[in-house]
Amino acid sequence: MKFVHIADMHFDMPFRLLSDRADLGEIRRLDQRKAFKKMIEYIKQNEIPYLFIAGDFYDAEYIRESTIEYINQLFCEIPNTKIYITPGNHDPYVKNSYYATFPWNSNVTIFKGEVQKIENEDAIIYGYGFEEFYVKNSKIEEIQIENKEKINILLTHANLDGSDKTEREYNNLSSKKLKEIGFDYIALGHIHKNNLQEQTNIIYPGSTISQGFDELGKHGMVVGELTKEFLKLDFIPLDEKELKEVEIDVTEIKSIEELLEKAEELELSENVLYKITLVGNRNFEINVYKLQKQMNKKEIIKVKDKTKLGYEVEKVAQEVTTLRGIYVKEILEKIKQEPENKEMLEKALEIGLEVLS
């Protein structure tokens, strides 16, 4: 049997953490639609009989009915594909959710908060969906496979082998126990990075499009071919854009103007969104918000300041006869007295040194 496996699309999420650019949320939400449509076209052209969507398909807080209608229209274009959706922690099956209230196309099955088994001619599908924002005991690990002659597949949104309290609240499952049950393929969602490099049949496809700079690299779908004897998996990118980070060392840069010139010299690729990380010892004040607005390259969507103050402040504080020495000494004393205001005081120290030097 052939299948497509995706997860963590997060339709209609605002993308606020990705960038301060006002238009970027709209752009990335359009990218979500493009990626999803590419997947539907692939399923059409290759006559894929199964589509597994492993949770966080949409963002419950932001999803619009028009987006749900758009999704369902595309589902109608692949009537011969059985579509299985397991709600996750961002899109749980609650009574007023679109999973519960929307008239989905007849080829769509949405799993709820009890393990459900659906037997098809070529495979048995086990599914479990979130009915709350947290799940601590799904009873998935209690499943006993009755017909081992058929292909048995588990579809759910879950954390794997979590150790801390937070991880255990998101349907935490043991990979050891899942292997002991004997599934032929386990289609998971929740982790936004794919794990295809691992020799396993417990698969996270990753987020369908990248949602932040902690999700670098290609994003898309897993395409699989499965029998009782073998499993073949391929990753196909769907996101037309890729996120990358570039560092600029400011140690030898003496002004904002020089820094902007350095940014202009960067050779940036088309269809890549960049985060510029500033490192090294700074010799001038850096206002990240203002700096990003001044950069002309539209590909740069985020600037992060990881620089350290270039002045040897302890040495400057010993200048008892200079105004800047007195100023620095007083600020350093305040930092000791008010550690909770350290960040604000260090910024005052930086501005003062630039003015007094």
- Residue by residue, DSSP assigns 298-347 as TTEEEEEE--EE-S-HHHHTT-TTSHHHHHHHHHHHHHHH-GGGHHHHHH
Give the model confidence (pLDDT) of 210-265 as tens digits.
999 999 999 999 999 999 999 999 999 999 999 999 999 999 998 999 999 999 99
* Mean pLDDT (whole number) for 28-57: 97
The residue length of the chain stands at 357
| Dihedral angle of Cα 9, 11, 17, 18, to the nearest 10 degrees | 70
Model pLDDT, residue 102: 98
Q: Which pLDDT score is estimated for 160? A: 94
Say how many C-beta atoms besides its own lie within 10 A of residue 351's C-beta.
12
Across 286-291, average pLDDT: 87
Quick one: 2-237 is in which CATH superfamily? Metallo-dependent phosphatases (3.60.21.10)
> DSSP labels for 282-305?
ESS---HHHHHHH---TTEEEEEE
Return the pLDDT at 357.
65
Per-residue pLDDT averaged across 89-102, rounded?
97
* Paired strand residues for 118: 125
Domain boundaries, given as residue ranges, for the chain: 2-237, 242-356
User: pLDDT of 136-174, one tens digit each?
Assistant: 999 999 999 999 999 999 999 999 998 787 788 999 999
| Helix or strand run (H / E) with residue 235 | strand 231-237
279 band by pLDDT with thresholds 50, 70 and 90 = very high
Q: Please state the φ and ψ torsions of residue 255, each to the nearest 5 degrees.
A: -155, 165
pLDDT band per the 50, 70, 90 thresholds, residue 289? confident
